[in-house]
Amino acid sequence: MLYTRTMISLNRMKYLIIGLLIICFSSCQSEKNDVVKIEFKVDVSEIQDEIDDVNTLGISGYRPHLLPRKIVPLKAEGNGIYSAEMSFDKAFIGDTITYWYSHGLIHLENLPYGQMGYRSVILGPKDKNLPIVKWGEIKVTKDMKISSPRMVVRQSDKNEEKKYLAEPFIGITTDGQLKKELYSILKTGLSTANIRTAVLKLLDSLNQEQRDKSMFSIDATEWQRWSNTDFYKRKGICLCDLNEVQKELAIDILKESLSPRGFDKSNNIMKMEAYLGRLINKTERFNSDLYWLTIMGNPSETEPWGWQLEGHHLVINYFILKDQVVMTPTFMGSEPVYIESSVEEGIRTFEREESLGLEFYNSLTEAQSKTATLHDNKEFNFIQTQSYSDNRIIPYTGIRITELDSKQKELLLTLIHEYVGNMKEGHATLKMEEIKSHLDETYFSWIGTPKHDHPFYYRIHSPVILIEFDHQKPVAFPVDKPSRQHIHTVVRTPNGNDYGKDLLRQHLEEEHHHE
């Protein structure tokens, strides 16, 4: 009897164990069957000599539930082929996976006209090995979402920078071809003597080593070696290495070169940097003294020269030929945009650039806004002409100013002057006259929605000026989408006159002709 009961118990246990094994096996199979694997492959053989470290090759995406918002390393398969295998939950079958390849941690694939290429694939019910694709060869459709091109150069003195600087300077164009005879050497009647005096006073205060570090020839590629990023290794003399008297002399250069409004904007950006450093406890990376000054050429009444101030969220290139001035490229940005607590409490950056942009866009009729709007949803950074973009091709897009009424044109000119007016008044007036002479060739484009607190981008583009305003994804704070708390702006002089290069060319040709 006892034996029988024991056997029955053992049999029950056996069946229980078998049942558990079946359940476990089914669960494992189910778990395995609930996953779809995709193998991504890219051929980088054509750019392999540009990659400083192949270990930085990776893949990433912007849809958090499909791809992690981090860069997944690629593994080498030989002959320039790199791959990565990733698993996706079957619950997302039918969804589109949007992704991109990268190298150097933040460098993404570029498309024609400097647009950013986002590849995509629809998640199917079975495992899939994607065909090998060549780096940068992406089919562009009108529905493809695009964002800002990442920096061509992440750090100074690397192969990428050397290759970039070796390219002949052309300037920003709409099709790769310069529109000529836009700029002329003029007698403006506006004095630049105070700027020259301010620079000479600073130079006189420097020792020989400091002067050697800060001075370059007028045609030096140092003009083009600027970056917005805080980690970029800059040349020139840092404000942080100057004593208090020298620092005041450096600031006097800004005061003499800029309008009061332009100086206040620059000064507030510097203060915002210090505020950011305190907010995130990284004052060694973000503070108001981490800006570098370089002098191009020798300050002169008759010969071309200029200066450049460069640092995080503030880059000013200032070219002078006698009494004529070119102040581009100028990059200004800010994160955050409002100081809530400190001795500078209440400082707000880019308030007018933002509000005037909104006012103009809201003045458009429904038909006009439809023409001006490239995308009605802003999910990415979009700015096109930041650092290392001197030869970028930017086609005209959006609405042409000839389609506006007189009131709308005045609103647009007010918005343009908000940027141009960072120069001294007389020079700004001359630039506005130049802009007005090409007003019928001016375009305005927009990305985003004008709703309260929603991010947006706008661009004003003509043969003689290009202005960009972009709400960016926060970098210092954990937010995944563009926000009004991080702003980048750029002003450019298209068709070859950034850094005053077309005026310099004309001057040198004229001098050579006289010789």
- Which residues neighbour 483 within 8 Å (Cβ) at sequence distance 6 or greater? 455, 471, 472, 473, 474
Nearest to 475 by CA among 466, 467, 464, 487: 487
**Nearest CA to 465 among 424, 417, 427, 425?**
417
- Whether pLDDT at 472 is above 70: yes
| pLDDT band at 444; cut points 50, 70, 90 | very high
- How many other β-carbons are positioned within 10 Å of the β-carbon of residue 36? 18
CA distance 308 to 327: 10
Top pLDDT among 513 and 80 is at 80
Q: Is the pLDDT of residue 27 over 60?
A: no
> Which of 44-48, 105-109, 161-165, 352-356 is predicted least confidently?
105-109
- Residue 91 one-letter amino acid: A
pLDDT of 143 > 70? The answer is: no
Q: What's the CA gap between 191 and 47, in Å, rounded?
A: 49
Q: Is the pLDDT of residue 92 over 60?
A: yes
CA distance 340 to 346: 6
> Picking from 126-130, 249-253, 334-338, 495-499, which range would have the lowest pLDDT averaged per residue?
126-130
pLDDT band at 158; cut points 50, 70, 90: confident
**Residue 33: which pLDDT band, with cuts at 50, 70 and 90?**
low
pLDDT at 112: 42
| pLDDT tens figures, 221-279 | 999 999 988 888 899 999 999 999 999 999 999 999 999 999 999 999 999 999 999 99
The yes-or-no verdict on residue 4 having pLDDT over 70 is no
Mean pLDDT of 308-321: 98
Query: Per residue in 190-230, pLDDT tens?
Result: 999 999 999 999 999 999 999 999 999 999 999 999 998 88
Mean pLDDT of 323-335: 98
**Does residue 67 have a pLDDT over 80?**
no
Q: What confidence score (pLDDT) does residue 31 get?
A: 44
> What burial letters (b/e) apply to 79-94, b meaning 16+ CB within 10 Å?
ebebbbebebeeeeee
> What is residue 62's predicted lDDT score, i.e. its pLDDT?
52
- Mean pLDDT in the chain? 86
In angstroms, the Cα distances linking 72 to 39, 54, 61, 421, 479 are: 13, 13, 10, 45, 20
pLDDT of residue 151: 63
Statement: residue 6 has pLDDT above 60: no
Q: How far apart are CA 99 and CA 96, in angstroms?
A: 10
Q: Please compute the mean of the pLDDT values over residues 293-310 and round it to a whole number.
A: 98
Is residue 292 scored above 90 in pLDDT? yes
Closest CA to 82 of 115, 47, 118: 47
- Whether residue 504 is predicted with pLDDT greater than 90 in this model: the reply is yes
Q: Mean pLDDT, to the nearest integer, of 114-128? A: 65
Number of helices (H), then strands (E), belonging to the chain: the values are 11, 23
pLDDT at 476: 83
How far is the C-alpha of 296 from the C-alpha of 217, rounded, in Å? 5
Model pLDDT, residue 132:
82
Rg, the chain, Cα only: 28
30 pLDDT tier (thresholds 50, 70, 90): very low
DSSP letter at 348 equals: B
Q: Which of 27-36, 287-296, 391-400, 428-437 has the lowest mean pLDDT?
A: 27-36
Q: What's the CA gap between 438 and 345, in Å, rounded?
A: 41
Q: What is the pLDDT of residue 136?
A: 63
pLDDT mean over 105-129: 60
Q: Where residue 315 falls among pLDDT bands split at 50, 70, 90? A: very high
Q: Tokens 């002399």 identify what position?
A: 249
- What was the pLDDT predicted at 18? 53
CA distances from 202 to 30, 35, 205, 214, 506 (A): 73, 66, 5, 11, 29
pLDDT of residue 28: 46
Query: With bands split at pLDDT 50, 70 and 90, how would you rate the model's confidence at 343?
Result: confident
Query: What number is the average pLDDT over the span 296-302?
Result: 97
Rounded mean pLDDT, 347-371: 97
